[in-house]
Amino acid sequence: MGIRVTVWGENVHEQKNKVVAGIYPLTMHGTIAKALKEAGIDASTVTLQDAEHGLTPEKLAATDVLIWWGHCAHGDVEDAIVERVCDAVWGGMGIIFLHSAHFSKPFKRLMGAPCNLSWREAGERERLWVTSRQHPIAAGLPDHFELEYEEMYGEPFGVPEPLETVFVSWFAGGEVFRSGLTYKRGAGNIFYFRPGHETYPTYHDANVQRVILNAVNWAYNPNKRIADPNHAPNVPVDKALEPIVERGPRLHHDGEEGYR
Amino acid sequence: MGIRVTVWGENVHEQKNKVVAGIYPLTMHGTIAKALKEAGIDASTVTLQDAEHGLTPEKLAATDVLIWWGHCAHGDVEDAIVERVCDAVWGGMGIIFLHSAHFSKPFKRLMGAPCNLSWREAGERERLWVTSRQHPIAAGLPDHFELEYEEMYGEPFGVPEPLETVFVSWFAGGEVFRSGLTYKRGAGNIFYFRPGHETYPTYHDANVQRVILNAVNWAYNPNKRIADPNHAPNVPVDKALEPIVERGPRLHHDGEEGYR
Amino acid sequence: MGIRVTVWGENVHEQKNKVVAGIYPLTMHGTIAKALKEAGIDASTVTLQDAEHGLTPEKLAATDVLIWWGHCAHGDVEDAIVERVCDAVWGGMGIIFLHSAHFSKPFKRLMGAPCNLSWREAGERERLWVTSRQHPIAAGLPDHFELEYEEMYGEPFGVPEPLETVFVSWFAGGEVFRSGLTYKRGAGNIFYFRPGHETYPTYHDANVQRVILNAVNWAYNPNKRIADPNHAPNVPVDKALEPIVERGPRLHHDGEEGYR
Amino acid sequence: MGIRVTVWGENVHEQKNKVVAGIYPLTMHGTIAKALKEAGIDASTVTLQDAEHGLTPEKLAATDVLIWWGHCAHGDVEDAIVERVCDAVWGGMGIIFLHSAHFSKPFKRLMGAPCNLSWREAGERERLWVTSRQHPIAAGLPDHFELEYEEMYGEPFGVPEPLETVFVSWFAGGEVFRSGLTYKRGAGNIFYFRPGHETYPTYHDANVQRVILNAVNWAYNPNKRIADPNHAPNVPVDKALEPIVERGPRLHHDGEEGYR
């Protein structure tokens, strides 16, 4: 059985904007899922408009890697669903954030940082350079590749120092951007990938599709999902691994839960 | 003028629990502030019970480094104050989280992770080992030091991989814990330091006081606080650093704010 | 075809010391290789005493992951072979250093650091704690496991901050040690794993064997080995990706190599 | 007393090449030292041609931060001096590597990696972007600054993942480069800073001088230098911090040194 990927799409501009609908007749999430399916991945799609945004506990339990694209409706995502997604990540679900998802609620929640940047929508040339040779996410790619039409995102990018910087982008207008960054939160692998403005055909690009496929394979954690990733177990004195004797005063009674 | 430190105390057990009140007649935050003042730091205290928990915009603007101790009342801290604290950190305020603040709202918010651990309240011996030699936070300390009575915190500690691991603890009952961890979020330096259960005299210990003083100096960022650390500026085409021509369709109108 | 692993053994104490020979009748490297073979890995062994220490260019080219155990004869390893091994790592070969290999030439060469530690040979209890939950190298392991008889290694461990800390050890005598650390140098994945003093039966332990097997899978880079990982190509002006005009004085003539 | 900085200059092109001599009548190292002195730093210079390359044990003991610039004569630096420099770094001396020092012996030795890159000498525009806001090394700098004439260095840059990426460069010819990287090896802070090709007036630039001054302050470790940063002390059983009894066979005799 292939890796089970759920592609989450905001699905607003595809419905309201003729340019976007024209470039992505299958929607953006549909285009991404189609490319993954052709590569043997068990990919499905859900959208903001679905009940619980399509992210029921059952769906998340059946998702190995979640891909997130959002832009104009970040605020419409319910906080309870964001927490559910984070719990799944902490338990071991991989997650890939694309482009304007830098300002999505789950990304900001997982980063603990502003996630801001500078930007310009001018259809300019972007060139992505691989900065970590032979990294699994860069497998099969040349040392650099170009996207002739893209939105510019510029540094400083308000994210924590990553585990690894995989791509850095050059823009025709003079900016640079760390375009591919890896993180781990709890047991979950996280990848941020910059390209993908909705008015350009970025997700039809073979190199971009390759990066997303590679990132799915990289983010997938075959270990069993942690049931309660927030559990903070008390270890009673008589279960200590080395013999110890209780000493001094204490706050908690036997069998009591810790404070939260 | 010295570094301006605000010590935030939950101030519940000092008022309700005779053991805690007996060990810390000046309260825990008061004890920490006193030690810092004796070392030349401009330290003050605020508590959960103060209006806005003592963390008004003016107070945060006048705070170079915030120290946070909380345990049984994490849930009573208002979310709006938590966001205000995070904004200050992202703008450049240093912050030090002590002991049970691992489950405080601002720490969890800044980590983006579960921050869980195992624990045992048995007054057992803790020995902290320096893992990063000559790190500024370990300045003047021996290679290891002991706290004869402490609560145990055990791995796995559900935090992101730190910038640097400065201390690792050994516990008599058989556990280990990464006890001193550095992070950066936005422009703010963050240090987590494990010791400090309220029923033991930890904050009277000279080595512990030394670590906190060192961490204050390390976390202090003399650069000007960033006014709006969440700002995501648009760079118009005619202000681009290199001459470019706008191409292709676009979503945004001139002068429009980006989506959030 | 399975992953091709070469286990490098110093092979001195197995030949000279009756205790070691008694515990490891197959030698230490032979014992490790046998366990890997039983798990489906294509494992072979070479030793210090082989011509070129068994690490000919052909052998390294046919090695996906190299495992290194050495102790009393680090100085006998030829520098030219060390450089060859490092070139292979930089080109994408994985490498796992075990126990006293912390002072081996290739480890010190790849770390760029002293790699020192404190130590005690007393057959004391070691307990390894997983610090990165569900990390591929910890797959299938419990949160902790014990080795009843081991040599102690204590902090500070003079290595660079790792990509990730996977294990931390507790010792009965009161020390701690970061026992499982990941690094990347060039395109090569590196794992250091602490246990394995030759007078104890550590490599017969199922959990230890599991870690080594997991680390082999983690370190394996399926991408093509980089032919010359030290190449520093000149990009002539007329091959620049964006049109530029040569300006100002220069040192180098057309087609000249850079200085080294 | 100010921080004691030693600027090491290769001092070859200043003597042999009229263009370089014309731009740097005080030599490159002399120009850098002069700017530091004007900022209150206790800066001196030494060169490749000095006895022991100017890096006697006494000089290193009296150096808080060493700055290294070399290019065409990396191979002329004696290996014994390289090891002496690394020992000083491991003991706590800060070190800053400039531009073509990416291929210097001490940088390669401390990185444990190929340190290669692509390059082009065409006097093209470089723009450095700050990627870590309010980092001490970027103090007082704007979000970006330009060098109108520089040599291009392009990714992939064959160095280990840094502690922090402080600058990323944009080049007119289409490349990007991680231009400011921090590391720690042993107790020593390390900063790599890209700009400074000898045929351009880079070290006369106020922003570049500011970065070097900031880096000196950042790299300076006021803690006492570690006398022997390679020491690996044995801890005898009777000196163990917790009472243990020696068990099992052992290799080493009482008081014996460990193997190296």
DSSP symbol at B67 = E
Residues C85 and C55: beta-carbon distance below 8 Å: yes
Mean pLDDT along residues A39-45: 98
pLDDT value of position D1: 62
Question: Quick count: other Cβ atoms within 10 Å of Cβ B199?
Answer: 21
Residue closest to C89 by CA, chosen among C187, C177, C231, C198: C187
Q: What angle do CA D196, B221, D1 make, to 5 degrees?
A: 70
Residues D95 and D190: beta-carbon distance below 8 Å: yes
pLDDT value of position A1: 62
Mean pLDDT along residues B162-189: 98
Residues D226 and D238: beta-carbon distance below 8 Å: no
Give the burial class of B257: count Cβ atoms within 10 A of its Cβ; 0-12 exposed, 13-18 middle, 19 or more buried.
exposed
Residue of C158, C234, C235 with shortest CB distance to D186: C158
Mean pLDDT taken over chain B:
96
Q: Torsion angle, CA of C242/C248/C249/C251, rounded to 10 degrees?
A: -30
Question: Which residues does A256 contact at the CB level (< 8 Å), separation at least 6?
Answer: A234
pLDDT value of position B249: 85
pLDDT-derived band at A169 (thresholds 50, 70, 90) equals very high
What is the distance of C-alpha A110 from the center of its chain?
9
Q: Is the per-residue pLDDT at A34 higher than 70?
A: yes
Provide the shortest C-alpha distance from residue C119 to chain B (in Å).
Answer: 14
Question: Which residues does C44 contact at the CB level (< 8 Å), separation at least 6?
Answer: C4, C5, C6, C7, C33
Q: Is the per-residue pLDDT at B91 higher than 80?
A: yes
Instruction: Tell me the C-alpha to C-alpha distance, in Å, between residue C224 and each of C58, C62, C79.
Output: 15, 12, 26
* Best residue of B118, B148, B168, B169 to probe chain C, by most C CBs closer than 10 Å: B168
Q: Write down the H helix ranges in chain C.
A: 13-16, 18-23, 28-38, 57-61, 79-91, 105-111, 206-219
Residue with tokens 């093209």, as numbered in its chain: D124
DSSP symbol at C247 = -
Nearest chain B residue (CA) to D243:
B172
Tell me the residue ranges of DSSP E strands in D186-245.
Answer: 188-193
Asked if omega into C25 is within 30° of 0 (cis), the reply is: no
Q: Is the per-residue pLDDT at A254 higher than 90?
A: no
Q: How far apart are CA C198 and CA D71, in angstroms?
A: 46
pLDDT-derived band at A258 (thresholds 50, 70, 90) equals confident
Tell me the residue ranges of DSSP E strands in B155-217.
Answer: 164-171, 176-185, 188-193
Q: Is the per-residue pLDDT at C149 higher than 70?
A: yes
Residue of A110, A173, A241 with shortest CB distance to B242: A173
pLDDT value of position C259: 85
Question: Which residues does C5 contact at the CB level (< 8 Å), separation at least 6?
Answer: C33, C36, C41, C42, C43, C44, C63, C64, C65, C66, C67, C216
Q: Is the per-residue pLDDT at B253 higher than 80?
A: no
Residues D160 and C89: beta-carbon distance below 8 Å: no
Tokens standing for residue B153: 């915190």
Strand partners, A67: A7, A96
Residues D94 and D136: beta-carbon distance below 8 Å: no
pLDDT value of position B90: 98
Helix (H) or strand (E) holding D122: strand D118-130
Mean pLDDT taken over chain A:
96
> Which residues from chain D sit within 8 angstroms of residue B136, using beta carbons?
221, 223
Tell me the per-residue pLDDT of D21-44, one tens digit each, with 9 for 90 and over. 999 999 999 999 999 999 999 999
Question: Quick count: other Cβ atoms within 10 Å of Cβ B173?
Answer: 20
> Which residues from chain A sit within 8 angstroms of residue D154, using beta carbons?
129
Nearest chain B residue (CA) to C174:
B170
pLDDT-derived band at A23 (thresholds 50, 70, 90) equals very high
Residues C150 and C123: beta-carbon distance below 8 Å: yes
Provide the shortest C-alpha distance from residue B163 to chain D (in Å).
Answer: 7
Q: What are phi and psi of B77, to 5 degrees?
A: -80, 125
pLDDT-derived band at C1 (thresholds 50, 70, 90) equals low
pLDDT value of position B254: 78
Residues B101 and B68: beta-carbon distance below 8 Å: yes
Question: Which residues does A215 contact at the CB level (< 8 Å), separation at least 6?
Answer: A96, A137, A191, A193
pLDDT value of position C249: 85
Q: How far apart are CA C254 and CA C251, in angstroms?
A: 10
Class of domain C4-115+177-219: alpha beta
Asked if omega into D249 is within 30° of 0 (cis), the reply is: no
Q: Write down the H helix ranges in chain D.
A: 13-16, 18-23, 28-38, 57-61, 79-91, 105-111, 206-219
Tell me the per-residue pLDDT of B99-151, one tens digit each, with 9 for 90 and over. 999 999 999 999 999 999 999 999 999 999 999 989 999 999 999 999 999 99
CA neighbours closer than 13 Å in the CB half-sphere of residue D212: 33
What is the distance of C-alpha C99 from the center of its chain?
10
* Best residue of B118, B135, B176 to probe chain C, by most C CBs closer than 10 Å: B176
DSSP secondary structure string, A23-37?
H-TT-HHHHHHHHHH
Decide which of C250 and A206 is more confident: A206
pLDDT value of position C255: 77
Question: Which residues does B18 contact at the CB level (< 8 Å), separation at least 6?
Answer: none
Q: Torsion angle, CA of D45/B136/D129/C234, rounded to 10 degrees?
A: 50
Q: How far apart are CA D105 and CA D76, in angstroms?
A: 10
Question: Which residues does C247 contact at the CB level (< 8 Å), separation at least 6?
Answer: D122, D123, D124, D149
Strand partners, C121: none
Mean pLDDT along residues A40-56: 98
Q: Torsion angle, CA of B77/B83/B88/B94, rounded to 10 degrees?
A: 60
pLDDT-derived band at C102 (thresholds 50, 70, 90) equals very high
Tell me the per-residue pLDDT of D239-258, one tens digit each, with 9 for 90 and over. 999 999 999 888 887 777 78
Cα dihedral A133, A134, A137, A139 sign: positive
Tokens standing for residue B90: 């992202």
pLDDT value of position B222: 94
Exposure pattern of A115-152 as b/e (b: 16+ CB <10 Å)?
Answer: bbbbbbbbbbbbbbbbbbbbbbbbbebeebbebebbbb
pLDDT-derived band at A248 (thresholds 50, 70, 90) equals confident
Nearest chain C residue (CA) to A141:
C223
pLDDT value of position A255: 77
Chains that touch D (3 or more CB pairs under 8 A): A, B, C
Cα dihedral D219, D62, B130, C139 sign: positive
> How many beta-carbon pairs under 8 angstroms link A with B?
196
pLDDT value of position B1: 62
pLDDT value of position B206: 98
3-state secondary structure of A218: helix
Asked if omega into C156 is within 30° of 0 (cis), the reply is: yes
Mean pLDDT along residues D179-197: 98
Residue of D140, D144, D187 with shortest CB distance to B133: D187
Question: Which residues does B166 contact at the CB level (< 8 Å), separation at least 6?
Answer: B130, B131, B132, B135, B137, B138, B180, B181, B182
Tell me the per-residue pLDDT of A114-152, one tens digit each, with 9 for 90 and over. 999 999 999 999 999 999 989 999 999 999 999 999 999
Tell me the per-residue pLDDT of B19-39, one tens digit each, with 9 for 90 and over. 999 999 999 999 999 999 999
Question: Quick count: other Cβ atoms within 10 Å of Cβ B158?
Answer: 23
> Which residues from chain C sit within 8 angstroms of residue B178, using beta carbons?
131, 165, 168
Residues C47 and C28: beta-carbon distance below 8 Å: no
Instruction: Tell me the C-alpha to C-alpha distance, in Å, between residue D93 and each of D35, D104, D194.
Output: 21, 18, 21
Q: How far apart are CA A32 and CA A66, in angstroms?
A: 12
Q: Is the per-residue pLDDT at C207 higher than 90?
A: yes
Asked if omega into D156 is within 30° of 0 (cis), the reply is: yes
> Which residues from chain C sit within 8 angstroms of residue D92, using beta carbons?
none
Superfamily for domain range D4-219:
Class I glutamine amidotransferase (GATase) domain (3.40.50.880)
Residues B225 and B92: beta-carbon distance below 8 Å: yes
pLDDT value of position B11: 95
Residues C171 and C124: beta-carbon distance below 8 Å: yes
One-letter amino acid identity for C117?
L
Residue of B136, B221, B242 with shortest CB distance to D134: B221
What's the distance, Cα to Cα, between the start and end of chain A in Å? 40
CA neighbours closer than 13 Å in the CB half-sphere of residue C218: 28
* Best residue of B126, B127, B147, B170 to probe chain C, by most C CBs closer than 10 Å: B170
> Percentage of chain B with pLDDT > 90?
94
Residues D161 and B109: beta-carbon distance below 8 Å: no
> pTM for the whole thing?
0.97
Q: How far apart are CA D71 and CA D73, in angstroms?
A: 6
Q: Write down the ipTM of this complex.
A: 0.96
**Where along chain A do its domains lie?**
4-219
